[in-house]
């Protein structure tokens, strides 16, 4: 019998009867209260932990999100890694985990943790994210009650906040898929070598607007590209471990030209130290995208406000408590 069939049998024979008993014997007043911590308001408890949906991994102990947040913060800094922080790769992990969502068939999204399986793990767009997953694994071992989906999403959120970004709302309770067949197909993430039409095709599929596309692009202020991962090379800004609106300032104030090298098509500034991807250049070349980018270039406070909203949306697509 396959693992998926075993899980469904377990759900039918044990979880559903338990769920039925739970809701017959608990009043609203007896339900666990919402959990508050300094990441955000985290809604978990009986509904999340006892929800029996075939195909999901279930955790019956409510995670201590405040303690897990502190553990993530402790893992961020490392002078021997990249620019001294794992924060940017945690953000990329959370984004790529959620970025598979399809609002038309309701597949993919922040729930499932599909990168535990070969299809998503070996997707070229996810190259290098095994580093982030391995870095977070000791937390999962210490707190087995948290799903991988929650851990990866929370890690990206904590990283943005810890690197100077806005404080953001976050809700826990995601379930992990028990088999690869339940995950989305590969190829749903953006191709950085393409332009505005491609960005719209990817993000419209997830239910995002032009303004939200431009706001999410501001996360490129963190981290850098690696030739052994995406094939591209270099950081977008000179301070790749500080969250700010610097990405937009570089786009508008710097001069960009195609990079002459043996790698994929990208752009560089006159110093040769900074780079932009074709999808980045689309943000200031497309007539519908450009006004939003100009607004965020001039108003960091508004960028932070809008980014917090769209990051929350991204981290909760495909996830229903």
Catalytic residue positions, numbered: 96, 236
Return the closest-CA partner of residue 20 out of 44, 48, 57, 52.
52
> How far is the C-alpha of 159 from the C-alpha of 162, rounded, in Å?
5
Residue with tokens 């250049």: 281
Question: Residue 178 CB: number of other CB atoms within 10 A?
Answer: 22
C-alpha triplet 244, 168, 283: angle, nearest 5°: 45
Tokens at 219, concatenated: 């996360």
C-alpha triplet 160, 165, 171: angle, nearest 5°: 55
Residue with tokens 């709302």: 169
CB-based burial, 71-87: b 16+ in 10 Å, e otherwise: bbeebbeeeeebbebbb
Angstrom CA distances, 174 to 98, 214, 316, stand at 11, 27, 9
- Classify strands 224-225 and 176-177 as parallel, antiparallel or unpaired: unpaired
Q: Where are the alpha helices (DSSP H) in 3-128?
A: 3-10, 16-25, 46-50, 65-76, 87-98, 118-121
Residue 175: alpha-carbon gap to chain centroid: 15
Task: Give 242-291 as a DSSP string.
Answer: S-SSHHHHHHHHS--EE--SSSSS-EE-TTSS-EE-HHHHHHHHSTTTHH
């Amino acid at each position: 019998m396959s693992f998926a069939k075993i899980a469904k049998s377990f759900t039918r024979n044990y979880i559903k009867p338990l769920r039925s008993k739970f809701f017959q014997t608990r009043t609203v007043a007896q339900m666990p209260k919402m959990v508050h911590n300094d990441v955000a308001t985290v809604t978990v408890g009986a509904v999340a932990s006892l929800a029996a949906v075939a195909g999901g991994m279930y955790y019956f102990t409510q995670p201590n999100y405040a303690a897990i947040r502190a553990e993530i913060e402790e893992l961020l800094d490392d002078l021997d890694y990249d620019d001294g922080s794992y924060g940017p790769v945690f953000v990329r992990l959370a984004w790529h985990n959620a970025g598979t969502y399809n609002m038309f068939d309701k597949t993919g999204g922040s729930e499932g943790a599909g990168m535990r399986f070969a299809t998503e793990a070996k997707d070229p767009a996810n190259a290098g994210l095994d580093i982030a997953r391995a870095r977070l694994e000791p937390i999962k071992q210490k707190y087995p009650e948290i799903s991988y989906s929650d851990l990866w999403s929370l890690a990206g959120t904590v990283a943005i906040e810890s690197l100077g970004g806005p404080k953001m709302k976050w809700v826990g309770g995601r379930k992990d898929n028990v088999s690869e067949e339940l995950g989305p197909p590969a190829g749903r993430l953006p191709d950085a070598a393409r332009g505005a039409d491609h960005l719209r095709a990817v993000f419209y599929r997830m239910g995002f607007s032009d303004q939200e596309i431009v706001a999410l692009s501001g996360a490129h202020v963190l981290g850098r590209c690696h030739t052994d991962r995406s094939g591209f090379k270099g950081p977008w800004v000179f301070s790749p471990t500080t969250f700010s609106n610097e990405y937009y300032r570089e786009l508008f104030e710097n001069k960009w030209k195609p990079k002459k090298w043996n790698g994929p098509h990208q752009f560089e500034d006159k110093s040769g130290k900074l780079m932009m991807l074709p999808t980045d250049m689309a943000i200031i070349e497309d007539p519908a995208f450009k006004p939003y980018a100009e607004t965020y270039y001039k108003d960091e406070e508004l960028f932070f406000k809008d980014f917090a909203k769209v990051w929350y949306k991204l981290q909760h697509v495909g996830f229903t408590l």
